Each structure stands twice: as C-alpha cells, then as structure tokens.
Chains A and B, each alone.
Chain A
Amino acid sequence: MLSLTEIEALFHIIVNILIILSILTGTFFIISAAIGVTRFPDVYTKLHAATKASTLGVIGILIGAFLFLYLQHSIISGKLLLAIVFILLTNPVSAHMISRAAHLKGVRPVLNNRKDEYAEAMEKLKAQESTKR
C-alpha cells in the first residue's frame, strides 16, 4: 500500500510527463511549420503550413506552461488560456488577410490548373454594380 507522500510523488511524476509530452509536441509542430514555410513553393501553400502547424505548436507549449503553473505551483493563470483563445481567433483572420492581399496583388498559385472562383465572383460583383448605375 502506498503512503500519502508516495501518492503525491506519483502524481507529480505523471504531471511532469504530461508537461514534457505537450512541450515536445509543440516544438515538433513549430519546427515543421518553419520547414514548411521554407520549402513550399508559393504563398498559399506556405500559409497552409504556417497557420495550422504553428497554431498547434504554440498552443501545445502554452498548455504545457499552464499545466506546469497550475499543477506544480497551484497558480491558475487565466492569461495563458486567454492567449490560447486569442491565437485560435486571430490566426485564421491574419492568414485570410495575407492570402487576400496576395490574390489582389496578382500572385498566382504554382499549380495553375484550376479556375479562379474568387476573381470570377469579383467580376460578377463589379458587373452588377455597373448595371445598377
């Protein structure tokens, strides 16, 4: 039968392993995001690599920091949770703004064999506005 101090030590061991796992997954996804940004051919695929992978990586590291502060030192840090929510809210918005800027500047995808639905929709909108006037 385990004594109370042994149970507490076991709890801390499990918590440490959880923190180590979350930090390692975060680091792996951050490195894969950087490699993807360096290696992919055009802006749209680079955005695909950067936003998804770096979001998951940074959220993993923030979850590790939150677990460390909460379970080892009993500090509930609401700011880290707020930072996680903030990343989940703002990262798609900034990716969308960058990709729209790229499309309006005329940067074409490398695999250019699909029709451009966004340009067609914009031309249809312009035609509607000119007929209204």
Chain B
Amino acid sequence: MTELLQTTESLLEITVYVGFAGISISLFLLMYQIIVGPYNVDRAVALDTMGIILMAVAALLSILLVTDKLNDIVLLIGVLAFLGTVAIAKYLEAGVIIDRD
C-alpha cells in the first residue's frame, strides 16, 4: 500500500510538470497570436486569455512548492487581468478610457 502511495505522489509531481509544459506551449501559441493577429481586437482576446492562464501557473506553483502563500497571488492576477482587459476594450471601443464630462 505504501509503495502505491509513493507511486501516486511521484505521479502527482510529474503531472504538475506536464501541466507546466502544456501551459508554456499554450503561452507560446498565444504570443504568436498577439504578434500576428490581423486586428487589435484579436490581440486583446489573446492577452485576456494569457492573463487568465497566468492564474493557473500560480496555482500549479503552489502545488509544487506545497504552500498556501501563493493563493493571494492567484486572486490578484485575476483582478489585474480583468481590469486590464476592460481598459483595453474601452480603449479599442472609443479611444478614451476615462470619460470626463
């Protein structure tokens, strides 16, 4: 039973590394999309997706390092990515971010 437990624990670590590999591949694809994308709106979509995927990087790192200190960072990256996406969308829509009337 203990050998099986050790096997699953090493399998969990391998799975975390597999997750890092998959996330890096998808980040490269999104970076390609940001450079190539025909309109600015396509680049905004890719940037939004990158910001959300960075949350997953922090969560995987908290599994790998066995700590709960990184959970604040997950929440913070989510808030900042949402604010950045809203600002970029408002800029693309009207050209101004903050209206002064």
Per DSSP, chain A at the interface is helix
Does A94 contact B74, Cβ atoms closer than 8 Å? no
- Given the contacts A9-B1, A62-B56, A26 and B41 also touching, CB distance less than 8 Å: no
Size bracket of the B interface:
35 or more
Q: Residues of B contacting A107 with CB < 8 Å?
A: 39, 41
CA distance A38 to B26 in the complex (A): 10
Does A61 contact B8, Cβ atoms closer than 8 Å? no
Does A30 contact B56, Cβ atoms closer than 8 Å? yes
CA distance A5 to B41 in the complex (A): 57
Per DSSP, chain B at the interface is helix
Closest B residue, CB atoms, query A100: B93
A-facing residues in B3-35 (Cβ within 8 Å): 4-5, 8-9, 11-12, 15-16, 18-19, 22-23, 25-27, 29-30, 32-33
Offer 30 A-B interface pairs, CB within 8 angstroms, sorted by A.
A6-B1, A9-B5, A12-B5, A13-B1, A16-B9, A19-B12, A24-B15, A27-B19, A30-B22, A30-B26, A34-B49, A35-B29, A37-B33, A37-B45, A37-B46, A57-B53, A61-B56, A61-B60, A62-B55, A64-B63, A73-B66, A77-B71, A90-B78, A94-B48, A97-B89, A98-B88, A101-B44, A101-B89, A102-B41, A104-B93
Interface residue ranges, B against A (CB under 8 Å)? 1-2, 4-5, 8-9, 11-12, 15-16, 18-19, 22-23, 25-27, 29-30, 32-33, 39, 41-42, 44-46, 48-49, 52-53, 55-56, 59-60, 62-63, 66, 68, 71-72, 74-75, 78-79, 82, 85-86, 88-90, 92-93
